[in-house]
Amino acid sequence: MYQYQCLNAVSEAGLSLFPESYQRTQSMEEADVLLVRSASLHETVFPDNVKAVARAGAGVNNIPLKTCAEKGIVVFNTPGANANGVKELVIAGLLLASRDIIGGIEWVKAHAGEEQIAGAAEKEKKRFAGQEIEGKKLGVIGLGAIGALVANAALHLGMEVYGYDPYLSVDSAWNLSRHIHHVRDLEEICRECDYITLHVPVVDDTKGMIHRETLSQMKDGVILLNFARDLLVKEEDLLEALTTGHVRSYVTDFPTKKLSGKERVIVIPHLGASTDESEENCARMAVRQLQDYLENGNIVNSVNYPNCNMGKKGKNPRLTVLHYNVPNMIGQFTMLLAKRGVNIADLTNKSRGRYAYTMIDMDETAFPELEKELLRIENVLKVRLIL
């Protein structure tokens, strides 16, 4: 029997995929795996029983990836599972920033019930007029799951699209329309585009990537959209650019104290992935990945360990070892098994930077103490014997 803990509301469409032998727990001390959305785990002290964390979503900046890796906790995310939900809200953001739709709706609310409202609206409406997005230039920074969908959709809406992503994967490149201008430096996006939208993860390299200098390279009256993470933008610098009118409007999915309620800032309460479809897709993917890891030892879509897949476990035991990526680890594992007369039916080893993972299908039933003996080998982080 396995136990899981949900640290945020995770869709039942996913949780119901766990078989009956899985139990939900409220205690981390009992949980084999954790499911999380945006709750921060940076202060969490993970007990030894926790084997994996699944982020039902894309961004993993709320999870201490290195701390988890050092404890032999595999962290998963659900790439692409909420990308359409976010794309649709970004398109809404483009339109909300182009005309004062929100101001117009508020005006109607304030005059609700008035006899002459129709006539008054005709007089007032010029205050809320704006521009069309067709024919305008959109710069997309980050062309992964969300950026690619946004870029393609904007093309369909008649925008001219510029895309920037120096680390674009081959799979993501296949998703992009050939009509998107491939931009090789950020400055070109800033110089050319009327609208700029951010779709990169928050990592050391991207934190504060939109600052005074990048903002100054942007066109006067640029509209900036941020549905990725607040920390990508230096707020003080942005506020200054909004005050001078250099940035015409900022649309963000991340309420912060400094920006919420400010003129020409449209703040949405982190609703990008809040659709039935996205929540269900993320939860299903997270649950499937956790179950596959617990029952078969397979790692699919991890963000701190290498992906490694030996298919469904057969009737014989499968040994899995999370360890540092240093020489002679496999030699020590196979030697230990050989000494005990255990034959290896299949073995896979994969590495990712500092960390590695070895899966071994054994011909014989495991001997007592096997896990303990393996754990005593230097540079081994976690051992699991799946019976």
3 state SS of 147 = helix
Q: Which residue has the tokens 């895309």?
A: 163
Return the number of the residue (136 or 199) whose C-beta is nearest ligand NAD.
199
293 within 8 A of 319, measured Cβ to Cβ: no
| Contacting residues for 221 by C-beta, under 8 A, at least 6 apart | 194, 245, 246, 248
Nearer residue to ligand NAD within complex by CB, 274 or 332: 274
Tell me the window of 53-61, 174-182, 239-247, 286-294 that interacts with ligand 2HG (CB under 6 A): 53-61
CB of 145 to ligand 2HG, least distance (A): 10
Contact flag: residue 82 with ligand NAD (CB under 6 A):
yes
Contact range with ligand 2HG by CB under 6 A, out of 51-59, 130-138, 151-159, 315-323: 51-59
Answer whether 73's CB lies under 8 Å from 294's CB.
no
Residue choice 37, 87, 137, 284 for contact with ligand 2HG (CB under 6 A)? 37
Determine if 7 is a binding residue for ligand 2HG (CB under 6 A). Answer: no
Which range binds ligand 2HG by CB under 6 A, 57-65, 123-131, 242-250, 299-307?
57-65
Question: Is residue 206 near ligand 2HG by the rule CB under 6 A?
Answer: no
Nearer to ligand 2HG, 59 or 208 (CB): 59
**Residues ≥6 apart with Cβ < 8 Å to 6:** 15, 24, 34, 35, 36
Q: What whole-number distance in Å separates Cα of residue 86 and Cα of residue 74?
A: 26
Our finding on whether 165 is near ligand NAD (CB under 6 A) is yes
Q: Dihedral angle at the C-alpha atoms of 116, 119, 121, 123, nearest 10 degrees? A: -130
Compute CA 338 distance to the chain's CA centroid, rounded to the nearest angstrom.
42
Q: How far is the CB of 282 from ligand 2HG (least distance, A)?
A: 7
**Other C-beta atoms lying within 10 Å of the C-beta of residue 207:** 13
The single residue among 30, 59, 268, 385 that binds ligand 2HG, judged by CB under 6 A, is: 59
DSSP H/E element including 91: helix 83-98
Element (H, E) at 75: strand 74-76
Helix (H, G, I), strand (E, B) or coil at 154: helix
Could you give the 3-state DSSP secondary structure of residue 208? coil
DSSP state of 367: P
- Measured from the CB atom, the residue of 285 and 366 that comes closer to ligand 2HG is 285
Choosing among ligand 2HG, ligand NAD, none, which partner's interface includes residue 136 (Cβ < 5 to 8 Å by kind)? none
Q: Applying CB under 6 A, which of residues 5, 11, 82, 320 lies at the interface with ligand 2HG?
A: 82
> Does the footprint of ligand NAD cover residue 228 (CB under 6 A)?
yes
Distance CA 50, CA 94 (A): 42
Q: Which does 38 bind (CB under 5 to 8 A by kind): ligand NAD, ligand 2HG, none?
A: ligand 2HG
Give yes or no for residue 79 binding ligand 2HG (CB under 6 A): no
> Site residues (CB under 6 A) for ligand 2HG?
37-38, 57-59, 82, 273-274
Residues lying near ligand NAD in the complex (CB under 6 A): 57-59, 79, 82-83, 86, 141-147, 164-168, 172, 199-202, 205-206, 227-229, 253, 270, 272-273
